[in-house]
Amino acid sequence: MADTSRHGPFRDVCARIRALDPDAPPGSELEKIALELELLDRAYSDERAQSFADGARRLADMQELHNANRLVTIGTLTAGIAHELGTPLGVVLARAQMIISDENELAEARNDAKVIVHQVQRMTQMCREVLDFARPKPPTRDVVDVVQLLRDMIALLFSEARKRTVRLVLAGEPTPARVLGDPSKLMQILTNLTINAVQAMPDGGTVTLSIEWKTVEPPAVERLQTANYMCIHVKDTGTGISNADLGHVFETFFTTKKADGSGLGLAVSYRIAREHDGWIGVVTREGHGSTFTLYLPPHSG
């Protein structure tokens, strides 16, 4: 008896064939055809179930990569924030000690208190920004201002860049540039690209962030249409990428940073870009720097 717990596209066909001659004896041509179709039906059902299982596994693997890369990025941000907190904490401590010592008059004490409040607010904002980035959120499709994301990211990475004598510059005075997407995941892409640019300049330099709109023909492998895309450029003046490495930079676990590279950042960033109907491109010249570009379809609303 045929397994009826799963059915493919041939179930109804088999029933109709048997209905043509319900009294057909076993071994008749109609019965043979029906049996062959049942075998095809069962094989199709097995393949479909396997495809569903493979798809679910790939989605789980992709989410695991997202989470792992997020931890790496958060570690970098946290190290920078920990360093940055030292200055305002020192100011708070000194002013509080002056108030306790009663060496100041009331007006000076109030001024010290205002400084303390300002520095605490500054530290609270730093912590809030990191928590907003780190807190897992379900995928969303919101209208996102990429310019504001870039400004927020520059504030987050300021201390990390300063430690490496790197300047982060947002070119021009861009007006709001909107796309439809997940702000947390888009921030993850921009953060990864900028951190990589900073780390590519061991002797310091400048990372220039810029936005433009232009008609672009996507890579053929992505099967996207030629259209007007928002192009977010992250340009560094660092070491560049060798020809031998260039074809592997978006591969999972590939890294040229032997000491602290996870090989997840660019691979995960590319996957997020594809989730947003975009992609990431790179132009590089060994010894003269690289420009990574995130291409996204602009929001037309």
More confident residue, 179 or 82: 179
In percent, the amount of the chain with pLDDT more than 70 equals 62
Banded model confidence at residue 3, pLDDT cuts 50, 70, 90: very low
Residue 22 pLDDT exceeds 80: no
Q: Which residue has the higher pLDDT, 286 or 18?
A: 286
Which tens digit of pLDDT belongs to each residue from 125-138? Answer: 667 656 655 565 56
pLDDT tens per residue across span 154-211: 988 888 888 889 999 999 888 999 999 988 889 888 988 998 899 889 899 999 999 9
Residue 81 has pLDDT above 80, yes or no: no
E strands in the chain? 142-145, 166-170, 178-181, 205-216, 227-235, 279-285, 289-296
Which residues are CB-contacts of 92 (< 8 A; sequence separation ≥ 6)?
Answer: 116, 119, 120
Residue 149 is predicted with a pLDDT of 93
| Residue 260 parent element (H or E) | none
The larger pLDDT score, comparing residue 214 to residue 124, is at: 214
What is the rounded average pLDDT of the residues 102-119? Answer: 73
d(CA 106, CA 103): 10
